[in-house]
Structure 1
Amino acid sequence: MRGRKPSGIVAGTSPVTKVPAVPAWLSKDAKAEWRRVAPILVNERKVLTEADLGTLESYCIATGTVREAHRALNRDGLVVAGKRHPAFGMMNAAQTTARLCAAELGLTPVSRSRPAIRDDQDNNDDNPLDIS
């Protein structure tokens, strides 16, 4: 599995069975992303674990930062006082963070196409090579 990150619920982690409350300290945009994504991860895909909550929070913060920086660029333009707008660099860094966290959470098409590692894979009854 060199170079591949496992997705799904890994043995030894506690699955989240109820959509967690939105952290109060998140920005308005980050809260909106939490409300959009958390139900998908918990109710539809059933892949969120307690260990993933920090990654979900980071993803939402980064996504909120991208949206805020983009609004600043729309409002002020790409160039301010003859220089590139500072929000441009912040937006790029936040996009990178959001993309990395999204991949970890299985929110990208590529990460969703990877096989999941789950507890039920421990059952080797179907192993044709098992001669015991």
Structure 2
Amino acid sequence: MTHLRGRKPPISRDSNALTKVPAAPKHLAPYARAEWKRIMPGLIERGIITKADLSGLEELCVIRGLAREYADALRADPLNKVLFGMLNRAMQTARQLAAEYGLSPVSRARVGSAAAEDDDEPNAMMIGRNRARV
């Protein structure tokens, strides 16, 4: 399992960013295609998606589409533990992939926190290390 722990680098505009929303891949299922159409305009507007990112976004849309299909199936059979497990795993994977592209509140906040840190403040971990030895 991949863990996204620790400080993440800020997402910023890419000089090679796409300027137009590409058509959804033809092989996507209806829910996945709807997800593509939902998320792509905002990502293009923020200028963070390049041609190289499209396969990862396709994976995100496929997983979110599968999660919707599993949720539909689970409504028809609410006691199916296998479906519940598949839905749970798909939702976890979708959250992880979404965070990669700034599609969660926390990851969007990270985009806005790209301001330079104040270097004038002393580092508490370094106090006492820079003193001259007597």
Structure-2-length-normalised TM-score: 0.72
2:43 aligned with 1:41, yes or no? yes
Alpha carbons of structure 1 residues 41 and 115: separation in structure 2 relative to 1, 3 Å: closer
Partner of 2:17: 15
Deviations 1:74-129 (A, max 9, x none): 012223xxxx2x221111111111101110010101001114699xx9xxxxxxxx
Partner of 1:105: 101
Deviation at 1:10, TM superposition (A): 5.1
Deviation at 1:54, TM superposition (A): 1.8
Alpha carbons of structure 1 residues 99 and 4: separation in structure 2 relative to 1, 3 Å: same
1:114 counterpart (92, 110, 113): 110
Report if the CA contact (8 A) 1:66-1:91 is conserved: yes
Taking only aligned residues, the RMSD between alpha carbons, in angstroms, comes to: 2.3
Superposition misfits of 4+ residues, deviation over 6 angstroms: none
- Mapped to 2, the partners of 1:117 and 1:50 lie a distance apart of 25
Report if the CA contact (8 A) 2:18-2:50 is conserved: yes
In structure 2, runs of 5+ residues without a counterpart are 117-134
- Mapped to 2, the partners of 1:24 and 1:74 lie a distance apart of 28
Deviation at 1:25, TM superposition (A): 1.1
- Mapped to 2, the partners of 1:97 and 1:26 lie a distance apart of 18
Partner of 1:91: 87
Number of residue pairs matched by the alignment: 110
- Mapped to 1, the partners of 2:50 and 2:7 lie a distance apart of 19
- Mapped to 1, the partners of 2:85 and 2:99 lie a distance apart of 21
Q: Which has the larger radius of gyration?
A: 2
In structure 1, runs of 5+ residues without a counterpart are 122-132
- Mapped to 1, the partners of 2:113 and 2:17 lie a distance apart of 13
Partner of 1:5: 8
Structure-1-length-normalised TM-score: 0.73
Deviation at 1:8, TM superposition (A): 2.7
Percent of aligned pairs with the same residue?
47
- Mapped to 1, the partners of 2:40 and 2:111 lie a distance apart of 21
- Mapped to 1, the partners of 2:47 and 2:64 lie a distance apart of 22
